[in-house]
Amino acid sequence: MRTLYLRRPVYCNDIMSAIFEHEDCVNRFRWYNINNGAMLTDAQEIVTVELPKLPKDDDGTRFWQWLRFLGLRREDEMEEAARDNTNMKNVIVSLRRLSADETERRLAEAREKERRARMGARLYGEEIGEAREKQETARRMKEKNYPVDEIVGITGLTIDEIDAL
């Protein structure tokens, strides 16, 4: 099996409430060719963690403790989980500060709203750019007398959109 290598590993970690149809709490996925099983790269991986499947008993790892913490909803449960963990205590202090201070909460919400707006604008800009590129490709193909069905097949535009160019 041949593996391609990237310079730096790329990871995507998803903490989910959705559940796959198997028992594992932590799942690691990689990209591979379904025809021959060749792995694309070992430097890119998607790790999913399903909180509902987290074992009830502490396995002694910090990973388990943080996952449990993420699934907690009540403050008393969080404080108990953070009793012997300075990092969790610091997170709780930050959460309290953000939750209690109206100004801080509004600033956090504004930052999140701005981040989402930028992401949406970028995606919208990419869609506009792709649409213009398809139209330009179709226009050039039309000028060179390509058959309309071939233009449709290559660009994905409709016949009406091509006729309007």
Domain boundaries, the chain: 1-53
pTM: 0.43
Reduced to 3 states (helix: H, G, I; strand: E, B; else coil), residue 92 is helix
Classify residue 69 by burial, with Cβ atoms within 10 Å: 0-12, 13-18, 19+. middle
Cα gap 106→102, rounded to integer Å: 6
User: Once rounded to an integer, what is the mean pLDDT over residues 115-131?
Assistant: 83
Residues in the chain: 165
pLDDT given for residue 131 in this prediction: 86
pLDDT given for residue 144 in this prediction: 92
The answer on pLDDT for 106 being more than 60 is: yes
Q: What is the mean pLDDT of the chain?
A: 82
Angle between helices 86-100 and 62-71 in degrees, nearest 10: 20
pLDDT greater at residue 14 or residue 132: 132
The answer on pLDDT for 4 being more than 60 is: no
User: Once rounded to an integer, what is the mean pLDDT over residues 89-105?
Assistant: 80
The answer on pLDDT for 65 being more than 80 is: yes
The answer on pLDDT for 5 being more than 70 is: no
**Which of the 8 DSSP states describes residue 38?**
-
pLDDT given for residue 129 in this prediction: 84
